[in-house]
Amino acid sequence: ALSIGIVGLPNVGKSTLFNALTKNSVLAANYPFATIEPNVGVVPLKDARLTRLAEIFGSARILPATVSFVDIAGIVRGASEGEGLGNKFLANIREADAICQVVRAFGDDDVVHVEGKVSPRDDIETINTELVLADLQTLESAVPRLEKEVKGKKTPKELLDAAVAARTVLERGDTLYAAGAEAGVDPVLARQLGLLTTKPFLYVFNLDEDGLTDEALHEELAALVAPAEAIYLNAKLEADLAELEDEEARELLESVGVEEPGLEQLARVGFDTLGLQTYLTAGPKESRAWTIRKGWTAPQAAGVIHTDFERGFIKAEVVSFEDLDAAGSMAKAKEAGRVRIEGKDYVMNDGDVVEFRFNV
């Protein structure tokens, strides 16, 4: 499964947030694939559509999609040179599919800031610099090697070109993700080169409670990280929420003027940043969300349930959640002509409710 690596300077609230995440983790019993390791939090993706499907189909249980977060300790200034847990840090980040930086934006004189002052801009810069330096180091050995290989016709020239274009971006101090398509570096090739800054980034700003409803502050912080997505939360509040029953949690949220818990936002935005979407299946046994990549076809989607489903795919019976919701039952949706039969070239939409037909 794809995962999001959580990074941040020391004392920004990373452990507090991660502890809250693991308290919200799914039960391993329902997700046997999710080997629960101490630094991995597998959190459910809240999805009101499943509740409605369970009502329509009388499902005994609900299984939401999940998002995996990995706590990656050890970034400090100099990590790219092996400072602190530098090398371990870089190895961990290499395995993550997206990078989520927790940034301190709360005051509190009792909590020491490693750089002496609270400055989201500087902290983001510090971490970006370490990642950019790590990528430059990778290229320092890769470019001469690729030059030789291209001469010997062992490697396509595109890969060398991508490496050289990436170096230009990185030498400016930019991450490849922020530089985006204009940089002319094919993300697939950049990944092949093992470059870290090509991974999608997202940001969690750890704010004081007052800051949670401060729109002007949010805009200011969003501007620091655009086009990456930003989430605004208070890590201590999230940790408290994780301890409470639903009703009490709702009251606590209301008292600080927030509608959606930060961790739910983080799961939703993280899932999207990974380029993932869900389709749904429903029946008396369970209503369930399945994770696929955006752009996947019906047979690929079927393969997530079982590889035999992909191999033996015949067709899919598909209705959008909205149409099914409006119709109120599968039979009525069929009567209304809302249930389509789709073939092997059908590209899945988020929220498709599906039944696959297949040969075994």
Nearest residue to ligand GDP by CB is 13
* CB crowding 168-197: b at 16 or more within 10 Å, else e: ebbeeebbbbebeeebebbbebbeebebbb
210 binds ligand GDP (CB under 6 A): no
Please, which residue, 11 or 129, has the CB nearer to ligand GDP? 11
| 15 assigned binding-site residue | yes
Residue among 175, 198, 234, 277 that touches ligand GDP (CB under 6 A): 234
Determine if residue 30 is labeled as part of a ligand binding site. no
Tokens representing residue 106 in the block = 């709360």
- Does residue 312 touch ligand GDP according to CB under 6 A? no
Tell me which stretch binds ligand GDP (CB under 6 A): 106-114, 119-127, 276-284, 301-309: 106-114
Pattern 9-38, binding to ligand GDP, x per CB under 6 A?
-xxxxxxx----------------------
**CB nearer ligand GDP, residue 15 or residue 119:** 15
- Only one of the segments 141-149, 159-167, 186-194, 229-237 lies at the binding site for ligand GDP (rule: CB under 6 A); that segment is 229-237
Stretch that binds ligand GDP, among 103-111, 133-141, 194-202, 244-252 (CB under 6 A): 103-111
Q: Which of 235, 274, 333, 339 binds ligand GDP (CB under 6 A)?
A: 235
Q: Is 132 in the site for ligand GDP (CB under 6 A)?
A: no
The answer to whether 349 is annotated as binding is no
Question: What is the closest distance, in whole angstroms, from the C-beta atom of residue 55 to ligand GDP in the complex?
Answer: 37
Q: How many residues bind ligand GDP (CB under 6 A)?
A: 15
Are the C-beta atoms of residues 98 and 200 closer than 8 Å to each other? Answer: yes
Per CB under 6 A, 206 contacts ligand GDP: yes
Binding region for ligand GDP (CB under 6 A) out of 3-11, 154-162, 257-265, 335-343: 3-11
Q: From the CB of 110, what's the least distance to ligand GDP, in Å?
A: 7
Q: Residue 230 CB, nearest distance to ligand GDP (Å)?
A: 16
Strand ranges across the sheet with 229-233 = 40-44, 66-71, 3-7, 98-105, 201-207, 229-233
| 106 in contact with ligand GDP (CB under 6 A) | yes
Shortest approach of ligand GDP to residue 15 CB, angstroms? 3
Q: Where do contacts with ligand GDP occur on this chain (CB under 6 A)?
A: 8, 10-16, 106, 108, 111, 206, 234-236
**Annotated binding residues:** 11-16
